[in-house]
Structure 1
Amino acid sequence: MPQRFDLIVFDWDGTLFDSTALIVKSMQSAAADLGLTPPSRERASYVIGMGLLEALRYALPDLDAADYPKLGERYRQHYFASAHEVTLFDGVPAMLEALKARHHWLAVATGKSRRGLDEALAAVKMERLFDGTRTADETASKPHPQMLLELMREFGADPERTLMIGDTSHDLELARNAGCPAVAVTYGAHAHDSLRRYDPLLVAHDVPSLQAWLLQHA
């Protein structure tokens, strides 16, 4: 069967990397460090996928603008102190290896910083599997389409032959803004109903079902 997609772009946190709980805890701890009322789990998890500054502004909207850098620094300290405890979702390495064997280009588009993504990729020894990556501190934050537009331009991939896979509405809106089809996963940050309204090609509830669909339809 001919391949439908040349380029498959994954979100990182909550899609490949099981870090949702750590991100929420780090954001809540950072707020507590500054004597602020921590955001709820729902509010903190909603921002996953955004760039850090945009995420903090949403999670704690009443903070003085001058205090966001301090909050961001506390967040990074909490996150990196425990990042080594987090790993890929079960089945992710095998899925990526299978897609690589089919000669898809694989990429990551993430709200993480370049430092954060590079350290995570090195920790799980996955650098060789990805042909391209984009982070929120080197391009526009999701859901702006710039990440996908840059990756498509890098590989000469057309929008209709580029697939975005993510666990948040920011990922699916990114795909829509770039004119690309998308697949949603529900084992990350956002609930099924908030993802379904973007009409993804698939809503996958675990990595095995995502892999099975990709090997048959991608």
Structure 2
Amino acid sequence: MRNYDVILFDLDGTLTDSALGILNSVRYACRKLGLEIPSEATLRKFLGPPLIDSFRTLAGLSDAEADHAVSAFREYFPTKGIFENEVYDGVPALLADLKAAGKTVIIATSKPEDFAKRIMTHFDLAQYCDFVCGATMDETRTDKAEVIAYALETAGITDKSRVVMVGDREHDVVGAKKNGLPCIGAVYGYGSAEELTAAGATALADTVDELHKLLLG
């Protein structure tokens, strides 16, 4: 594995296990709008992609209905769902070691940036990050490729030769590729080895410990 100086991390399913809060927020939105709550298998597919896309494709909602669903989701998430969440074992040590090694650490998430910053601060992880970059609340920047491009621009990075993305879903891999970056797949998250490999992940980490070894040796 090549030596990377800049590491972009996805948040949900890569640094924290946020499934409970996200899925409870989806259930709340469905109840509020009088929609049938999807099966557990379908609900799990909400983990990773931009939320508005999931309401369109997984719940079959129109653009306007999906907007209403996202608004309802955000009634529950900022006060309850956001903290129905826990940091994966080994993540604080990984981030601390990356910082100690002089690496640039950037969060690049499809979660709204304000929520991402609150989560990183709540779990005392913000201290290890140089930048926390995310989606916009108005849905004008949600696609992972756009978020990664925004993160690179925010950090002033033009030389991508020593930059890598780390994420747990195919959207992370595809978004990285669109920006000319390799992506390490976090198999311990919400995706699978098959999904990440098919999308073109450069390497796979079954555990946070394996990710640590890939990034720091």
TM-score (normalised: structure 2) = 0.88
| Number of equivalences | 213
Which of the numbers 61, 69, 72 marks the counterpart of 1:71? 69
Residue 43 (structure 1) shift: 3.1
* Aligned residue in 2 for 1:129: 128
* Aligned residue in 1 for 2:149: 149
Larger relative strand fraction: 2
* Aligned residue in 2 for 1:19: 18
CA distance in 1, matches of 2:63, 2:149: 30
Contact 1:47–1:58 under 8 Å retained in 2: no
Residue 151 (structure 1) shift: 2.8
**What amino acid does structure 2 have at the position aligned with 1:171?**
D
* Aligned residue in 2 for 1:176: 177
Q: After superposition, where does 1:1-218 map in structure 2 within 5 Å?
A: 4-61=3-60, 63-80=61-78, 81-137=80-136, 140-143=141-144, 145-153=145-153, 154-216=155-217
Residue 100 (structure 1) shift: 0.7
CA distance in 1, matches of 2:206, 2:115: 26
Residue 206 (structure 1) shift: 1.3
Residue 157 (structure 1) shift: 4.5
Q: What's the C-alpha RMSD, in Å, of the aligned pairs? A: 2.2
TM-score (normalised: structure 1) = 0.87
Change (3 A) 1:78 1:169: same
Deviations 1:14-57 (A, max 9, x none): 10011123312321332133221222333333343333322322
Contact 1:48–1:111 under 8 Å retained in 2: no
CA distance in 2, matches of 1:164, 1:58: 26
Residue segments in structure 1 that go unaligned for 5+ positions in a row: none
**What amino acid does structure 1 have at the position aligned with 2:33?**
L
Residue 140 (structure 1) shift: 2.9
**What amino acid does structure 2 have at the position aligned with 1:51?**
P
Change (3 A) 1:211 1:18: same
Deviations 1:133-178 (A, max 9, x none): 22111763234x2322233333334223110000101001111111
CA distance in 1, matches of 2:147, 2:20: 25
Off by >6 Å, runs of 4+ in structure 1 = none
